[in-house]
Amino acid sequence: MRYCGWVVRKVQVGRVLILEVSTSSSVRLSVLVFKPERDRDLYATVRDVDVGTALCFEGFPAEEQKSKRGIEYVVEKLEIYAKPLEPLPVDTAGKTPVLLDTRLKYRWLLARKPEERAIVRIRSGIIKAAREYFEANGFTEIHTPKIVAAGAEGGATLFKVQYFENDAYLSQSPQLYKQMLIASFEKVYEITPYFRAEKFNTPRHLNESWGIDAEQGFISSVEDVMKTLEELVAYIVNYVSKNYREELEELGIQPLQLTTPFKRLKFTEVVDLLRNEGVDVRENEDLSDYAERKLGEIMSEKKHYLYFIVGFPWSSTAFYYMREEDGIYTRKFDLDFKGLEIASGGQREHRYEKLVEALKDKGLNPENYSFYLEAFKYGMPPHGGFGLGIERLLMKILNLENIREAVLFVRDRTRLIP
């Protein structure tokens, strides 16, 4: 077999020379052992190899596996492709602790470490699992614009860009476009970036993030959408637990097994639960980060690690959510995972007149949404959908402390490079 990768550590033990190599074929290191009496020609070659060297080797696993850091190989052939021009700025062997800022700056290089590589591989697995679920359940993958004329949520969280002679914005969400496509498709999904100009600098916020979005038509109620979301999340988590055991073990994470349905909580119930714990919660506002975390503690004590919050007040939701008959509450839901909102969605308003009314009630100009409203004139069925945050889901699966650990190239208030 031929394997390619990078030297992350070089050790001399007596006359034995050991190279630890990070390859893409496994999250575990390949440990290459060279003995002068056995590997005379190769031994002379690897004596000049530096940490960071890119190489390929052919060989077979040693009969006696002595290394605790990876799979030990007897090498038959070795080719060197590139040596570093200078010492590496970070320790890819993982022996020296790295501050978060330095880690984020050199994440592309630190991905040679098994722990960092494991996070990236599991993130990839989340996306594979999502596509597998959607394709098996009749959804069509779509791709919507990322430069848009109007925001799905409006407000001050839009990144403004100059688009020739016009003002435009980076997309906050594919929300409006995926709804428009329900005029012709029953079920659609997209794996997509979100851009939000939120001036937060917390461990749970990014200004560029990625999400898994879905929309489905001809629904009977919001429960149809919640059922799709909980099945998707359970499928993803169980897929990762089954197919990424080596990566989870490398990170010290116990595999999860989820079953559905998840617990449902009405927003009014949540308010009562939190107030009983002394948390100040407003009946007409969304939950604060602190309130979400406290609710997570309460629900974890009850062994509910994933749970829906349903029936949000209209005053705290976007214009496109369907209002209940009382006009106070909506058919919006959040899905929380141990105190962190990982997804939100609900049943949308599909009636043209009601949508125009909702836009005006939110202080938005319907003329700015004419392209979107037109789709509701020609037989738009009852529909609903959701957006699931990839970084947030990964953060909870792996018990990461900071959402920035869940993405390779971070975009937040202070980071525009690398």
Best CA proximity match to 339, nearest among 301, 393, 401, 294: 294
Give the pairing type, strands 187-195 and 140-141: parallel
Which helix (H) or strand (E) segment holds residue 131: the answer is helix 114-136
> Catalytic: 344?
yes
Single out the catalytic residue among 117, 205, 323, 350.
205
Reported for 19-23, long-range contacts at CB under 8 A and 24+ positions apart, including other chains, are 19/46, 19/49, 20/69, 20/70, 20/93, 21/55, 21/57, 22/92, 22/112, 22/113, 22/114, 22/117
CB count in 10 Å sphere of residue 353: 9
> Catalytic: 215?
no
> Catalytic: 250?
no
Position 392, amino acid: R
Position 150, amino acid: A
Single out the catalytic residue among 72, 190, 247, 341.
341
> Catalytic: 249?
no
CA angle 67, 73, 76 (to 5 degrees): 155
Rounded Cα gap, residues 154 and 299, in angstroms: 32
Single out the catalytic residue among 107, 123, 196, 404.
196
Single out the catalytic residue among 9, 204, 350, 404.
204
Single out the catalytic residue among 115, 198, 208, 357.
198
Query: Which parts of 161-301 fold into alpha helices (H)?
Result: 175-181, 222-243, 245-251, 267-276, 289-301
Tokens describing residue 241: 């637990």
Single out the catalytic residue among 292, 392, 404, 405.
392
> Catalytic: 392?
yes
Single out the catalytic residue among 344, 350, 383, 405.
344
Tokens describing residue 235: 């499928």
Q: Which residues does the annotation mark as catalytic?
A: 196, 198, 204-205, 341, 344, 392
